[in-house]
Structure 1
Amino acid sequence: MSEQQQSGTRRSPSIGRRNLLRGAIVAGGIAAAGAGALGIAQAQAYSHPGMLIQNDDIDRMRSAVQGNREPWISGWNRLINNSHSFSTWNPRPVERIIRGNNGTDPENYWLLMNDMHAAYQNGLRWRISGDTAHRDCAVRILNAWSGTLKEIGGWTETSLAAGIYGYQAANAAELVRDAPGFDRARFRTMLANVFYTLNNDFLVRRHGTCDGHYWANWDLCNMASILSIGIFNDDKAKVDQAIEYFWNGKGQGSIEHVIPFIHGDLAQWQESGRDQAHTMMGIGLMAEFMEMAWSQGIDLYSARDSAFAKAAEYVARYNNGHSVPFTKFVWYNGHNCTYNEQTVISEGGRGQIRPVWELVYSHYYGRLGRAMPNVLEMLSKVRPEGGGGDYGTASGGFDSLGLGTLAYVQERKPTTLNRLQSYNYQDRYVRHIQYDVRLDNTISPAADAQFRLVPGLADAAGVSFEAANKPGYYLRHYNYDFRLDPNNGSSTFAADATFHSVAGLADGSWRSFRSHSHPDRYIRHYDYLLKLESVSTATGRADATFRITT
């Protein structure tokens, strides 16, 4: 067993997680199916489209593109300028796909790889533009493969082909699942018989090697394929199998093994000592796995106290050129479980551009308002994210479906920016200066005094103050003083950064803000610094009264 397997504590998902899907949440093992029933379909009406793209995503993309709004329009232009998205794309299906040198057959996996990205991109173009030529192209590609493909072979890389192109094929098909002419039944059969068989075999046998032999990406792509096939085929046993493996799998892709060490707000990735290209590939695969589960009401993003957010920050930080801590990583590989160790983080592929970051940022910041400063810095380099065909012809450029700037960016609402004007010093406004918070009448830059008043992080009936120029950073009290801090997702932070707006203590037409965590205390200024204090005097009431201006 590897070092992290010896020390890790296995965790099962808790009942009561996001429950948007009736009966889809697994509590412990493989719900109702049992280990002996993994290949037996169990009927389940899953949400469709319900993988990487949902109806809300389609509506958002369509509205943004029609409105010519950034950054979505830049993402759209990236899509329509990619030749894989052209409706004239002609599929090249074959009966046997080969990935890996087996000594006899030449590799040809690039045929399937390119065609699945073409099907996905054409399906996406149709969903956004309504142009049926792209719908028909996607259908033509998918029908051609489901009517032809019989086998995926080669060397051990067969498992990579079945995993990566399996989840991509299912996502492409999900976009056109109800399109006229699409042979959904035949596609389901291909996914189950050609792809799933290999996915399942890898997670069970791993080609006869030690549990820790294969890098995390091998597990992750096969987990993603099983999950997506389960959703597309409405097969509950397969969905349950994928979620169960996420929590308790023996290989390096389970949540306890893929993140072996937590370093405060950063978390080391299993492949960090290998190279950065494969590390970023893993970030993309895990994000896509978690997003497909989220689409069905299952929250895996929050697993192990949102360890994946910390891992994404770790990987982004290092690939942005900054230093990160590294703990020696030990694993055992091969058929005889040979000892291996990595003592330093790898610089191989450092800073490579991969389209895997928008989805991570979309969830943790776009949905939750969590600060992800290192991922945001990476986004400044990769936006707008492209898709397969935009990152060269090698397989690494097709490991992720990408196009995240178009598909995943969440607009933070409300969009209005506000200032907090003092009642008794009306030439002064609340501002942050190097994370300290005070009243000031000389505000430069102006953004330092602008805040987005969002629903309270701890109570949506309250309000939290997010800095306009520091996404994910909020006003919060700490030992009754105020400062601007990054939202780390903790309940303590949420409570300290949540306030309840009440009629102004000095003037009912203005506003005062009562602390959520200390209901007897209010935001007030004292010697121009913001404090959290009880208010009993006329001066105190005036100090605790503000006007919200835009």
Structure 2
Amino acid sequence: MTSRTSPHQHLTGTSDTSGTSGTPGTSVSRRGLLRTAGGLTAALAVGALVPALTGGTAAAAPAAFTHPGMLHAHGELNRAKVRVAAGDQPWLAGWNRLTANPHSAAGWTPRPTATVVRGGTGENYGTLYNDIHAAYQNALRWKIAGTTAHGDTARDILNAWSATLTTVTGNADRFLAAGIYGYQFANAAELMRGYSGFDLDRFKRMMLNVFYPLNNQFLTGHNDACVTNYWANWDLCTMNSILAIGILCDDAAKYDQAVTYFKSGAGNGSLARAVPFVYGAQGLAQWQESGRDQGHTMMGMGQLGAFCEMAWSQGDDLYGYDDNRFMKAAQYVARYNLGQDVPFTTYTWGTGQNCAQQSHTVISAAGRGQVRPVWDVLHHHYARRRGLPVPYITAMAESVRPEGGGGDYGANSGGFDQLGFGTLLYAK
């Protein structure tokens, strides 16, 4: 582990019933909990202990990054390995979903290119996301089953791209590519850290020189548009990439850039803007894209869920930030997509370069009930780790289980927005 020079703080936020004022909430430090209660023994009891903690501001995270420490920490990987070997359900069903996916086949041949284009003329980004998901899925098969052929395949895909890719470009969609594929690429590399023949240093250079500049450009300038012009998912995928690059490269400044934006950023990826209205009496909260459509709304559950899980692996409880604001939004989205009614408050935002005002006055039914592999990680955290009642999240997770991954939800880019396989990694 590498020392960090800019430790981030676990801060206490506020929440409310109207979205405008409120009462203090609590954010829990996972590392602080384990450190206080005594290491491994405490880790086994974390689900029971966390709900009992109340009040105060948690200590800063330790000055070192944990590896593996993104979507999958050692505990999740080891549990999947043990449970699959024992033939236990639902892990085995999740494993079978993984091994049936063509992207997880050993011997997948990468097709790296120097320039990736998303948006506009000459689009070729499908090659990149297919190879990323093949690398990730093969890395999972190596981590869980120990098969060298899959480890070699994942390594070779990552090495081929880091030796070739120099540019991600296109119209404004280039920022989506840099965000979504940046954090997914980093997660695949994190799984392969230390693998024989994997050129981690060269891969880090690719992430720092190709992906991060676009991530930073978008988060600080929003493509020269009004800061609220872009939907929450644009910020969130960008934040995910910066956070993942920070972890991969042991770069505290980048990690803290992403976490600070989550807490206080001006754009729609910051928590207060992604979840603009809280209905405290109902335990629900409205998502920023709810008036747009449900496909992108559920994509938001996946993007913010990934962000919170990566931070959790490094000791930060952003899941619980601002009195569980994200949990209430996930409950809201799940409830509506299960066919039940939810409240809706008119949502107004600024668009274009001049922040021209637009409004949503009703929730959108477009894409209602769409299946995306984003729910098991949320159920695992809130219902299992924290022991909180989240009936709508639980029902959604059960309806999607066992979760697949890239290639299981359509051949276009939307089917690759999430890495997936949450049942395999997060069942408990």
Band the TM-score falls in, shorter-chain normalisation: 0.7 to 0.9
More helix by share: 2
Partner of 1:157: 173
Structure 2 stretches of 5 or more lacking a match? Answer: 1-18, 36-56
1:461-472 → structure 2 map (5 Å cutoff): none
The alpha-carbon distance between structure 1 residues 174 and 12, as it changes in their structure 2 partners (threshold 3 A), is farther
Partner of 1:188: 204
Partner of 1:84: 103
| Correspondence 1:314 to 2:309 | no
Residue of 40, 58, 61 corresponding to 2:77: 58
**CA distance in 2: counterparts of 1:96 and 1:140, whole angstroms:** 19
The alpha-carbon distance between structure 1 residues 80 and 369, as it changes in their structure 2 partners (threshold 3 A), is same
Deviation sequence 1:417-458 (CA, Å, 0-9, x none): xxxxxxxxxxxxxxxxxxxxxxxxxxxxxxxxxxxxxxxxxx
1:460-499 → structure 2 map (5 Å cutoff): none
CA contact (8 A) 2:308 2:319 kept: yes
* Displacement over 3 Å in runs of 4+: 7-22
1:14 Cα deviation from its structure 2 partner: 8.1
Please give the secondary structure, in 2, of the residue aligned with 1:75.
Answer: helix
**CA distance in 1: counterparts of 2:408 and 2:100, whole angstroms:** 9
Deviation sequence 1:138-175 (CA, Å, 0-9, x none): 00000000000000000000000000000000000000
| Correspondence 1:279 to 2:297 | yes
Please give the secondary structure, in 2, of the residue aligned with 1:331.
Answer: strand
**CA distance in 2: counterparts of 1:407 and 1:18, whole angstroms:** 18
**CA distance in 2: counterparts of 1:287 and 1:126, whole angstroms:** 24
1:372 Cα deviation from its structure 2 partner: 1.2
**CA distance in 2: counterparts of 1:9 and 1:49, whole angstroms:** 38
1:380 Cα deviation from its structure 2 partner: 2.6
More strand by share: 1
1:12-91 → structure 2 map (5 Å cutoff): 17-20=29-32, 45-91=64-110
- Kindly tell me the number of residue pairs found equivalent between the two proteins: 384
The alpha-carbon distance between structure 1 residues 277 and 399, as it changes in their structure 2 partners (threshold 3 A), is same
| Correspondence 1:247 to 2:263 | yes
Partner of 1:391: 409
1:16 Cα deviation from its structure 2 partner: 7.4
**CA distance in 1: counterparts of 2:284 and 2:295, whole angstroms:** 19
Letter in 2 for 1:378: M
**CA distance in 2: counterparts of 1:140 and 1:74, whole angstroms:** 28
Letter in 2 for 1:57: E
TM-score, normalization by structure 2: 0.86
Which has the higher Rg, Structure 1 or Structure 2? 1
1:15 Cα deviation from its structure 2 partner: 9.0
The alpha-carbon distance between structure 1 residues 233 and 382, as it changes in their structure 2 partners (threshold 3 A), is same
CA contact (8 A) 1:84 1:389 kept: yes
**CA distance in 1: counterparts of 2:66 and 2:213, whole angstroms:** 24
The alpha-carbon distance between structure 1 residues 12 and 250, as it changes in their structure 2 partners (threshold 3 A), is farther
Partner of 2:353: 335
**CA distance in 2: counterparts of 1:382 and 1:135, whole angstroms:** 28
TM-score, normalization by structure 1: 0.68
Partner of 2:394: 376
The alpha-carbon distance between structure 1 residues 374 and 10, as it changes in their structure 2 partners (threshold 3 A), is closer
Letter in 2 for 1:233: C
The alpha-carbon distance between structure 1 residues 263 and 9, as it changes in their structure 2 partners (threshold 3 A), is closer
Please give the secondary structure, in 1, of the residue aligned with 2:335.
Answer: helix
1:107-118 → structure 2 map (5 Å cutoff): 107-118=123-134
**CA distance in 2: counterparts of 1:154 and 1:210, whole angstroms:** 20
Partner of 1:346: 364
Structure 1 stretches of 5 or more lacking a match? Answer: 1-6, 23-27, 32-43, 411-550
Deviation sequence 1:25-53 (CA, Å, 0-9, x none): xxx9xx9xxxxxxxxxxxx6310000001
* Superposition RMSD in Å: 2.1
CA contact (8 A) 1:9 1:256 kept: no
Partner of 1:400: 418
CA contact (8 A) 1:13 1:247 kept: no
| Correspondence 1:119 to 2:113 | no
